[in-house]
Chain A
Amino acid sequence: MLGLSLSAANIIEAQGLLRLVSSACFAALAVKLWRQDLRKGYPFFFWYVTFRLLRAIVLLPFPTNRTIYGYLFIPTELVLWVFYVLVVLELYRLVLRDFKGIATLGRWVVLGALSLSVLLSLLSLAPDLSSRQAYPILQAVFVMGRAICSSLAIFLLLITAFLVFYPVPLSRNVIVHTVVYAVYFLSLTMTYFVRNVAGPDVVLPLNIVLQAVTVLTLLAWIVLLSPAGEQVVISVRPRWAPEEEQRLVRNLDSINAALLRAARK
């Protein structure tokens, strides 16, 4: 009994410490984005980091099991979801904006990936909705959080697959963002999921894990983002004539036609 309460006290202590560390990391990242002028390239990301910092400062004095914490947590959580969507969309707008040739294709891909990810995420909510918990409002918030974070994780996966398939030149910072978002949203999704299915008993250890992941992702951003990482190496080619393009397509056609003939004989 004594051992159990001691470990609970240790967890609360560790959680408090991690909250402090993550607040410091948010502050360091905001300063870095500001000082190195990276905020101009990623304005939503900068405002997201700033908002997280302010939220962490406001929430810091309150223990997580107090009602006042809940009153502050829920509305700010809703704002955070909006930021999550904005920072991810901002990233892919930046990646695709300089390539006029695939403007429509890019829109189709983003729209298709968004629709598919939301659909898959909603279809996977059954276990989250099936458990009955003492605080329905909190449960609803966590179920919505799970839906949003898993949608974003799937969306990131689909868009990354598109970027692998299409040789869009990427800066190092964009790759860093994509990797860190993937780790973060996947961890967040799993945290929400376990919380929804297992109930509030697991909140303390889950919070520790989530805080640890948050600190690691913040450290990754602090260390890996840089003004030099904004540079993109691309090959510059002369504008190809329409005949060139038609010949390319005709050649692909003729290979296909010959193969199809071989297949039908």
Chain B
Amino acid sequence: MDWFSVHLATRAPESRISEAELDVAGDRLMDLLAAHDGVVSAGGGAWSATVSVQAEQARSAADIGGALIEAQAAEVGLPGWPVVRLEAVRQDVLHAENERPTLPALVSAPEAAEILGVSAQRVHELAAANPRFPEAAYELRTGKLWLRDAVVAFGRRWERRPGRPRKVTAPVR
């Protein structure tokens, strides 16, 4: 048997419970689920809870955890709103996911130049003229930002031609 993290989320079709009542019921659900590593969020016409359960596989974990959350939620008076999400993740997999940053690493032209071993000006030329150069993830007033992994991947695939690169001419307006 493995440990699984089971998350169940509900959303109100229409809210008939006050925010204060939802908050108090959420606190009581936190108390009840503490023995199951429970975490609760409640407010704004929605509530959700996460617990940890032991099961043979993710499907049965979702059934066990989902039933546990719904039973305890009913006991504290949380509304039986429609379940909009039910997911089970093996706890070690979730732990590994939590270790990875959610924000991707970004680079500006000077950093991209460092990765590719060229000048920052050459990066701008590549971005303008090489169709395989990655699209900028963000274009700010101060310049473009690229996903670091995309620039590294481009560097691996890039077939460099020796000699001075052809000049990129600006379109005539």
Partners in one complex: no
Which residue numbers of A lie inside 8 Å of B, CB to CB?
none
